[in-house]
A and B are shown apart, each in its own frame.
Chain A
């Protein structure tokens, strides 16, 4: 049961700075004091599991799930796919992946989004799936539009899809964003820039994947996700029978 081993510590240097002045909201929403560190415990090493049986047939198709298949969302059709792995390079099977995004015009279906790009009556903006036994997932959706947001006077979010991933342990919980290869707004975005190491930010940029695109139908983007791994332990938590 490797599942009971301690989680590897988070490498905080690859993650965003919690306090980043160009992202103004982070200034009052980041702790001043150091985090309390210790080895993970069962509270972080266990976590909720979700079964494939909770999924509806259209849950991973944002083009048609809001209308339950009656009409299609407006926008450039894309397929987003990849694998969820852990830091040991092992696939993370049967884990819930949720996404949300703006519509093709850059507008969210949310009471607080007052951008004047129109809502699409056929687009809700959320989807979910569960990885297969190889850690693989895929979504059909439309390419989200870039949108302006109130931060500095003329800040725009690059095209992006928000991702939420569970893993198998509460201590693996991760929310991130996928960007699109070649989007010039990535370099101008203060939220993207919270990841200070450019090589780490590049890992959030999905490449165009023509091999998995389909003619006269959709373009594909490949987005792999790595969750925290567990320490390999020969001397503690011996497997049953050893």
Chain B
């Protein structure tokens, strides 16, 4: 026998189901009047430092169908690479956004500012990126991924460097489509499957 480790275990996840919008973005879901407005409508306020960008994309299931019911959350640093809550963070950048796939087209839109590179432990520097968390009916535990940018230098990013199959790196990189606009599609399964993260 040994002493017990005395560590609890995380509560198991369950799917967010088809009606996650009622709980997280009720006004969007048509449940109006409970809250003044939905949480996380924008990750930035007027006056946020940095380049304002718009990212558009879809999330595809294993059959290639753009899912209409997914909900996303994003979390990012400000233009200087500082997260809200850390010293010196831009007060106009909450860094958090909730958004959903359009119920008719399946397309999502995220309007934000381009984050700066983020310093990690032991001198690590992560290229500018936005963390994404995805929930939907049929997803039993939320999926984490990241959006990087094809007009940034991603060559030394420690996370991208861990992807053995180099072509899969592209699944995490948003493609510039115009001035301040990017496209980032997510593929849940099969051909071109997005790299999902456990960290």
Contact = CB atoms under 8 A, between A and B. Distances in A.
Nearest to B132: A170
B47 interface: no
Size category of the B interface is 35 or more
Contacts of B138: 23, 25-30
Contact of A100 (B23, B67, B118): B23
Nearest to A18: B140
Interface stretch (B24-32, B48-56, B174-182): B24-32
Contacts of B73: 173
Interface in A47-94: 47-50, 54, 56, 59, 65-66, 68, 85-89
Nearest to A172: B10
A105 to B, nearest CB: 15
Q: Which of A18, A96, A195 has the most CB of B within 10 A?
A: A18
Contacts of A143: none
Interface in A188-212: 191-192, 194-195, 200-201, 203-204
B199 interface: yes
Interface string A30-55: 11110111111111101111100010
Interface in B6-63: 6-24, 26, 29-31, 33-36, 39-40, 61-63
A48 B14 contact: no
B10 A10 contact: yes
B112 to A, nearest CB: 14
A29 B62 contact: yes
B198 A12 contact: yes
A113 interface: yes
A15 B12 contact: yes
Contact of B96 (A18, A25, A40, A48): A48
A232 B18 CA distance: 38
B25 to A, nearest CB: 10
Contacts of B67: 29
Interface residues of A, number: 87
A35 B198 contact: yes
B11 A110 contact: no
A54 B53 CA distance: 28
A159 to B, nearest CB: 14
Contacts of B109: none
A88 B8 contact: yes
Nearest to B159: A38
A43 B136 CA distance: 22
Given A40-B199, A48-B94, A109-B30, A229 B7 contact: yes
A14 B33 contact: no
26 contacts: A27-B138, A29-B67, A29-B139, A31-B196, A36-B159, A37-B197, A37-B198, A41-B199, A46-B86, A66-B34, A87-B10, A88-B8, A110-B18, A110-B21, A112-B69, A124-B22, A124-B33, A125-B22, A125-B31, A174-B10, A175-B135, A194-B14, A194-B15, A195-B12, A201-B12, A237-B121
Given A9-B198, A11-B10, A15-B12, 14 more contacts: A16-B12, A26-B139, A27-B62, A39-B121, A46-B83, A48-B95, A87-B10, A112-B69, A125-B31, A126-B26, A170-B75, A191-B14, A194-B14, A227-B11
- The 8 A-B residue pairs with the shortest CB-CB distance, nearest first, are A100-B23, A25-B138, A29-B138, A28-B62, A48-B96, A16-B140, A35-B198, A46-B83
